[in-house]
Structure 1
Amino acid sequence: MENFLFSAGGGNEIGASCYYICLKGRNFLLDCGIRYMYKRQYPSLNELTNLMTMDTLNDLDGVFISHGHYDHNGALPLLASKLKNEKIEFMCSDLTGKLTEIQLNILKKHQEIKSYAIYEDINIERAIEKIKGYPTNERIDKRDYSFYFIKGGHIPGATMVYLEVEGKKILYTGDFSDIDYPLTPRYFIPRNIDLKNIDLLLINGTRAFNNEAIENKRRLKREINRIFGGIFFEGRILLEVTQINNGMEIAVLLNNHLDEKTWDKGDVKIYIDEAMYQMFQVVCGEEKFERIMPLSQLDMNSKEKHIIITMKGNRFKFSNYTMKYFSYSLHGSYRGLMDLILKIKAKKTFVVHVDQNQERKGDLVKELQEKGYDGATYIENEKIYEF
């Protein structure tokens, strides 16, 4: 087999995204993440050396990271611990590189958030040393292949990966989004990227079974409106999130909501975790959000009205707060998935990052067949798929 895919994680599940591609005899890894809620936390990296195309993981020609979410980058320290080849880079956009460094440091065993402390510090440092940021929408030529990072939406810095080896072309979408958010515009593929005759489209289909028309963005705005309505503002609210990037988006949405309203109950401050604030500064640059500040600046004895946004697992530090858990997705819509697949019409399309046990309100592959495109397939973990 000259060209095939093997999903070490993230195939028929959402979590531990890690896709091995053998392309014209070259070996690539697309993402390397962890699972959030299962006992088996890591992708099946050891299985990759049983495929007869690599003796060890040191035979990898390239490792690409689509964006800074733990289910796509959280297993990089484990991978780094297995690599002796110093030339192997963890390649990503410049912004994803900066955000990933902050995120991986949270995973050190000596950090304060115990539920996130899963790696020895030295493995974190090895992973960070291997991170290499590249510009978006610019052709990068390596010795045996070339690639582009294409802006993917979803979160700041997220990219699609366009990879070409000896005329064979694949496009990996990562977690892209066709919806604009305050910090993150929708995906954009520039005209200089040739989408004709793509051999494989590897697309993250989180919403492949959900064709509801109501946008997640609208749901999120409704939740924010509820925060400020009715029972709110005795003064203190604690919002828990599972992703730093989600926390940043919520902070901006809250800030914008407050700026648009006239309040007779005084100003409202928004305090966010220190690591979240570090990432916020990287993303926003010189843009100022005066009411958003690091949690370290909060005076716990202050009577000011404020909102805290913190990572899940930190609630035990706070009392006398109205608590709310925020879990939401910035993934592409069902219609966005459909449109991109039909626009490209790759020779083969593998749909990954799909919870195949979820309630089905639609079926992306079935509808594509009805529209005349029969090249799309759902895949499963630890199986080989030729293309």
Structure 2
Amino acid sequence: MDRRSFLKNSALGGTAAAATTLAAPAIAQAGRTLTMVTSVPDGFAIFDDAAQRFADQVNIMSGGSLTIDKRPAGTLVGAFEVFDAVSAGQADMYHSADYYFGGQHPGYYFFTAVPFGATAQEHNAWYQHAGGKELHDELGSIFGLKSFLCGSTGAQPGGWFSKEINSAADLQGLKFRMPGLGGKALGLTGASVQNVPGGEIYQALASGAIDGAEWIGPFADERLGLQEVCEFYYTGGFHEPGSALSAAVNLDVWESLEPAHQQIIENAAMATHGWSMAQSAAENGAALDRLRSQGTKIMQFPDDVWDAFGTASNEALDEFMGDELYARIRESHDASVSNTSSWVSQSDNAFTAQRDRIKG
């Protein structure tokens, strides 16, 4: 895909009105300020926490010579418009989940999560040590972006439902919010899948516009209030076993930065990724206990539903194999997961199973 062709055909690249919406990148008196658009409102647990942590770390590490001006979803552009805005040079950078942009190129799905794919630990291993970062760079160069992992939700649950799911037949016609390749797979089971921005999930559930939704995990879901509008919470999910968030800088802006500032951005993103992964693990257990105590019914899908998810996921993953870059990204990801899981299954998993057995 040619970058110029993309910009010519993109919604923002082809709309003169949109070009006037955002101010040109600012240069602060004490240094440089980069405008960062995000895909969630201020205060969203885990997701916005990572964006804010990243911005704060850049500001601190640079001693004020490079600052990030964070603009939450809807203040400059919509939640799903951040990619086009940064690619077209109308904002300096974004913080988001890259699977929102699988329509730009399906390779982006792998830099958040894919169904039955990498856990958070496995994803980070692929990215940092098995070629994932280099593929992210290659993909981003098509669209004029320099990207970094910058946040992790850990494993995401199956989601909130207004009714029990007793068999795969119950998925037929279900109006459900799920983005990414997981959403494509769910649609293949007969569900009616919608990609609702995070800031609109509660209202969509409360109004009955959708029958269920997945978001991030107990801590973030509780903060969003989803327990107020749905009774059943399925904690095991197939679609996002270890979801990553990303920060992406317009490539021209990136190349104009001093090397020291480039290194600060990269290190701040890496530090935020680890911090965010730990936050998810630290908060979700207690949040799940609170949800249970408030009457939420904690559920698991039956085996035939898992089987339906598996069949549909393979079909969704295979759909884009005709794209050479997608195929290379998938092959790299899958090879890394196979390598790391062969050890993790014999070490971490064996240990935790015995620890749980002994401690009861």
TM bracket (short chain) = under 0.3
Structure (1 or 2) with the larger CA radius of gyration: 1
What TM-score comes out, normalization by structure 2 length?
0.27
What TM-score comes out, normalization by structure 1 length?
0.26
Which structure's residues are more often helix, by fraction? 2
Which structure's residues are more often strand, by fraction? 1
Q: Highest relative contact order (Cα 8 Å, sep 6+), 1 or 2?
A: 2
